[in-house]
Amino acid sequence: MRKLCFILFVFPSIVEAQFIDSNLVNAAPQFSGQVAVCSKDSVLYSFYKGYANYELRIPIKSNYTIELADLSMLFTIEACQDLINKKILHPDSSVSFYLKKFPYKEMKIKHLIDQSSGLPSNYIKLYHRNIYDDQNIKMKDKTSIHNSEIIKIIEDKKPILEFVPGEKKVLSKTNFIILAQIIELLYETNYEIAINRMIAKKYPTLHIFDRDQFYGDSLFPHISGLKKTGINEYITFENLSDLGYKYNDYTYGQQHIFGSATDLALYFEMNKEYFSSIFTSPISGYAAGFHSTLYYDKNKTIVILSNTSDEYDNKLLLKELTK
């Protein structure tokens, strides 16, 4: 009788999980990646599907790490907030106080953090228009976008702001490139080391890290980015050159932090009150070969990490999980 009672107790949760799995597969049959739903310190649901390595047909697992794309910016903001708490960084100070050649004297640190800076929102277009020129880069040449180049463009060209700092809030990836530079200046080390130290100290149970540790990690293999070429057919796509561009994107502050959907959802739950004061749900992100989505309400956090170039799957899954 005890055995029967035990089976009756656990059976509904198993059925519910299978039901959700089935619904997600039906909602987005071509999805490849990880999904997690968490509340406080509990994982309510997790789901994973597809290939970590398409060529070798290595399936994705729940603990495999994946590019967090624009959701990496959460860690840049937290590193800045730690500096503010220590009174090393001052939100009302001008950015030019820290970066002496920064041309917008009216722009403050808080404008970068709360996304009210007015800086051009697309740094790749900024690079393309100011550096890249088909007339002086031969077909055989390759170049790369680095933080230093974006900052130099801003310092030398002083591109027109999209709006007056503080006037409104518009997410700009360029903000995080500037903040990453300030983090390096004030932590007196490179961004990767600063972020990895912060995560290891504050969140030792979460397997999240910046790219410094990415390629050498064997305990938690990484998931490669993919571009769809047909129904359930893909090619590896992890940087712009994989699409034929003559430059790659090696900027940081807004990408290149890696973790699982479960660990990121748990992390956000720990910091929901703070981040919800800056970002409006849902938050979506993109990096070459990856899409990320984070949704939150007062009861839960949903993270969807896709290792394909198609963001539509994330939208379908989020609709299914929030209906």
pLDDT of residue 211: 66
pLDDT tens per residue across span 235-255: 787 777 766 667 788 899 999
- Residue 89 neighbours by CB under 8 Å, 6+ apart: 80, 83, 98, 109, 182, 186
Label residue 215 by pLDDT band (50, 70, 90): very low
**pTM passes above 0.85:** yes
User: What is the rounded average pLDDT of the residues 31-56?
Assistant: 92
Distances (CA, A) of 147 to 159, 176, 179: 16, 10, 10
Q: Is a pLDDT exceeding 80 seen at residue 18?
A: no
One-letter amino acid of 137:
I
Share of the chain above pLDDT 90, in %: 59
Q: Who has greater pLDDT, 247 or 297?
A: 297
Bridge partners of residue 219, in order along the sequence: none
Inter-residue contact 269 to 222 (CB < 8 Å): no
Q: Is a pLDDT exceeding 60 seen at residue 12?
A: no
Inter-residue contact 246 to 141 (CB < 8 Å): yes
Q: Is a pLDDT exceeding 80 seen at residue 130?
A: no
Largest CA distance in the chain: 81
Chain centroid to Cα 125, Å, comes to 19
Query: Domains (ranges, CATH) in the chain?
Result: 34-254+266-282+292-306 (3.40.710.10)
User: What is the rounded average pLDDT of the residues 211-223?
Assistant: 58
pLDDT of residue 141: 56
pLDDT of residue 5: 37
How high is the mean pLDDT of the chain?
85
Chain centroid to Cα 305, Å, comes to 9
Residue 153 CA neighbour count, 13 Å, CB half: 22
Q: Is a pLDDT exceeding 50 seen at residue 82?
A: yes
Q: 282 preceded by cis ω (within 30°)?
A: yes
Residue 67 CA neighbour count, 13 Å, CB half: 26
pLDDT of residue 142: 57
pLDDT of residue 90: 97
One-letter amino acid of 49:
K
Q: Is a pLDDT exceeding 90 seen at residue 212?
A: no
How many C-beta neighbours within 10 Å does residue 33 have?
Answer: 28
Question: What DSSP character marks residue 211?
Answer: G
Q: Is a pLDDT exceeding 70 seen at residue 314?
A: yes
The runs of H, that is alpha helices, within the chain are 2-27, 73-85, 95-98, 109-113, 123-130, 147-157, 173-187, 191-202, 261-270, 272-275, 312-322
Inter-residue contact 100 to 93 (CB < 8 Å): no
